[in-house]
Amino acid sequence: MRFDLNQSWPAPAAPKPVVIIGAGGIIRDAHLPAYQKADILVQGVTDLDQSRAESLAADHAIPAVHAELNDAVAAHGTQVVYDIATPPQVITEILPDLPDGAAVLIQKPMGADQDQARAIRQICRDKKLKAAVNFQLRFSPMMMAAKDAIEKGLIGELLEIEVHLNIFTPWTLFPFLIPMERVEIAVHSIHYLDTIRALAGNPDGVFARSMGDPRAKDFAQTRTSVILDYGDRMRGLMSINHNHQCGRKFQSAWFRIEGTEGAMMVKLGVCFDYPNGEADELWLCPNGGEWEQIPLEGSWFIDAFMGTMRNVQRYDAGEDDRLYASVEDAYETMALVEACFQSMKTPATALKID
């Protein structure tokens, strides 16, 4: 059995160079390696920490280091794509300084909460920015293939999406999360909620609980349960535990996607032995058949980061008719995240035994 499934976003015919705004770790670890692989040039970088920008430029042969964002805009105008990789709370301060009509890729999340997401959306509308948010899991080879399989009817009518993680995440690698009130859903499971939306659309509602753990006592939440209400046909749920300290044997990190005619299993390789990771996997089985592993063209890290930038580039050039992770679409992911946090304030139905 062979499946011909789309796994990557097509390359732009004539990609624009990129200017980086924010020279942090995600740029080094994912954006720049992806752009190099995709033959997309990085023309400039700016960061509030000038030494960090200069170090990044020296390590990756970036021609220009701009002391201020306004200097970068004056030098490049709309002839580049602006790649914003800053903390979410400062995005609303950056966007007004970009040229009207510019092509922009904004690091996820889309602001710190739905109110900030709403403000970001309005700025992008007012300035007519061609802006997308870097919700890159939906662009990964495994998830693009899974979406293609669903759209081709290979598993029939979609009935189940379950995300299950039982892993050990070394939270001490992320000390900047310690003061945050919203952690697990806001910075991690947001990827899964966004991808579920990409596969199945928006749910009607949500029930959620996210909590801390004494094994990661400095962090507000590292465990999450979510039930997504898609009516009486499809079931959506997430069970997330980042604190399993009993070895690899029973660790898990996967999407289970089932329909009336078959099922898929998607392994999230990056979650194991983080940050080293394992290979991503996609398996497909028709009802009554055998499981077959679908060979993947790449991985979530770094190949998905090529896809987000390629889509922005192609949309800017008129080669794509839509942005797959546009600010308009990303806002709906932020609304779902907000609904999860609001659900946490709602009491569960009390058990009554008469």
Q: How confident is the model at residue 247, as a pLDDT?
A: 95
Q: How confident is the model at residue 51, as a pLDDT?
A: 94
Q: Could you report the per-residue pLDDT of 33-56, keeping only the tens digit for each?
A: 999 999 999 999 999 999 999 999
What value does the mean pLDDT of the chain take? 96
Domains defined along the chain, listed by start: 18-137+303-322 (3.40.50.720), 141-298 (3.30.360.10)
Q: Show the beta-strand stretches assigned E in 140-195.
A: 158-166
- Nearest Cα neighbor of 1 from 229, 208, 286 is 286
- Stretch 134-143: mean pLDDT: 98
Q: Could you report the per-residue pLDDT of 290-321, keeping only the tens digit for each?
A: 999 999 999 999 999 999 999 999 999 999 99
Q: Could you report the per-residue pLDDT of 154-198, keeping only the tens digit for each?
A: 999 999 999 999 999 999 888 889 999 999 999 999 999 999 999
Q: How confident is the model at residue 275, as a pLDDT?
A: 85
DSSP conformation letters of 191-243: HHHHHHHHHH---SEEEEEEE--GGGTTSS-SEEEEEEEETTTEEEEEEEESB
Backbone dihedral angles phi then psi of residue 278, each to the nearest 5 degrees: -130, 175
Q: How confident is the model at residue 11, as a pLDDT?
A: 97
1, pLDDT greater than 60 = no
Rg (CA), the chain: 21
342, pLDDT greater than 60 = yes
